[in-house]
Amino acid sequence: MTTLARRLGLADAVVIGLGSMIGAGIFAVFGPAAQAAGSGLLVGLAIAAIVAFCNATSSAQLAAQHPVSGGTYAYGRAQLGPWWGFAAGWCFLIGKTASTAAMALTFAAYAAPTGGEKPIAALAVAAVAIVNLLGVTRTAMATRVIVIVVLACLGVALIAANVDVQRAPLGEVFAAGPYGVLQAAALIFFAFAGYARIATMGEEVRDPARTIPRAIVIALAGAFVVYAFVAVTVLTVLGPEQLASTTSPLADAVPTWARAVVRIGAAAASLGALLALMAGIGRTGLAMAREGDLPRPLAAVHERRRVPHRIELVLAAVSITLVLTVDLRGAIGFSSFGVLLYYFIANVSAWTQTPDHRRYPKWLQGLGMIGCLVLAAAVPWQSLVAGAAVLVIGVAGRMLLKRRSSP
């Protein structure tokens, strides 16, 4: 059998989305964003949130019409054709597989002893793969616990950071210029992209036409509130220059007694995002294998656990390889490029929906298309070149496979 069981309700879907968004990014992304834009990262945060909202409404609208696994891969195939669907699925797989490496490495940076980060990160990927293989209800349960722990730790950290502190001057918001602000937005977008995990689980959510749109918007709104509080806190406590020079901004912004709490929260957040992320990638891989865009044997669903076990095992192996060979900064930039192109296709797909399936104004999809392309072009040039090269390799590979399979 290759069908999945519908076991998740609204609360489960929201928690999985929050677990993906309130993850490694909140503890790591503001340093690189400050390097790009200084105090202009606050403008970048707003831009990233606007683009994410446009993408979220497109994803919600598409998920209501096409409540199946695969996210924009499935939507692109249905609305635009097989090649658009493949491009979306390939961008998602490469971008989010890079994200799994980033999440694992961030977890290890907070939880592992010096010198042992990469082996611990690889073990984290293996442990999360085992949890996902046990079944989606266990994934949702574990994510719920992790989100509670993370929010509690963030609450303590924010209170500690805002009590009896001297605020640093912010400086000129637009000193880095438009490109710097846009690059900050592109990096921060990496942290917002988790709401798509909800859409990719369309076959496992009860009443998906109603549940998925609501869960996406609720999870995105909740994540934005948390990110805004953290961004303002670290920027006003540390100042733009110190923030740009640190790899652990929230830890540096709190008193010494609270740093252990931050480390616990960072480790839990990274692990929670990794958990939800790997589940979502597995469902997209399942959909692609069903259509022959990946080897068809990967479409198998475990008879008892009802999870796509083969694709998740392959994903774990690739993620472990990346963890052992890449660094965090490169993983974030590469991930942002791939995911922004994925959402560009989501917006194009939503643009083509008929009025009876439209839930949001059409101009939101247009704004989302423009925003995704602009931010994708603003990522660091190394990530732009590498992402474009891997995209071309994927397209060429599919052309070769289709040519060989044709009579």
Percent of the chain with pLDDT over 90: 23
Please provide the distance, in angstroms rounded to a whole number, between the alpha carbons at the two ends of the chain: 28
Percent of the chain with pLDDT over 70: 88
> If you average pLDDT over every residue of the chain, what do you get?
83
In this predicted structure, what is the pLDDT of residue 123? 92
Query: Do 350 and 63 touch, CB atoms closer than 8 A?
Result: no
Of residues 403 and 50, the one with the higher pLDDT is 50
Tokens 């059998």 belong to 1
- Nearest CA to 188 out of 51, 283, 280 is that of 51
Query: Do 293 and 196 touch, CB atoms closer than 8 A?
Result: no
pLDDT in tens, 233-284: 989 888 888 888 887 788 888 888 888 888 888 888 788 778 777 877 777 7
In this predicted structure, what is the pLDDT of residue 407? 57
Query: Do 350 and 84 touch, CB atoms closer than 8 A?
Result: no
pLDDT grade for 403, boundaries at 50, 70 and 90: confident
Angle, helices 208-245/136-162, rounded to nearest 10 degrees:
40
As a whole number of angstroms, the distance between CA 243 and CA 168 comes to: 11
What is the gyration radius of the CA atoms in the chain, in angstroms? Answer: 20
In this predicted structure, what is the pLDDT of residue 138? 54
Q: Which residues contact 141 (CB under 8 A, 6 or more apart)?
A: none
In this predicted structure, what is the pLDDT of residue 301? 77
pLDDT grade for 129, boundaries at 50, 70 and 90: confident
As a whole number of angstroms, the distance between CA 393 and CA 399 comes to: 10
In this predicted structure, what is the pLDDT of residue 196? 63
Rounded to two decimals, the pTM is 0.82
- Nearest CA to 87 out of 108, 72, 101 is that of 72
pLDDT at 47 over 90: yes
pLDDT grade for 347, boundaries at 50, 70 and 90: very high
As a whole number of angstroms, the distance between CA 364 and CA 348 comes to: 11
Let me know the angle formed at the C-alpha of 243 by 237 and 248, rounded to the nearest 5 degrees.
100
pLDDT grade for 4, boundaries at 50, 70 and 90: low
pLDDT in tens, 97-125: 888 888 888 888 777 787 888 999 999 99
pLDDT in tens, 155-209: 888 888 887 666 766 767 777 789 999 999 999 998 887 666 676 666 677 777 7
pLDDT at 81 over 90: yes
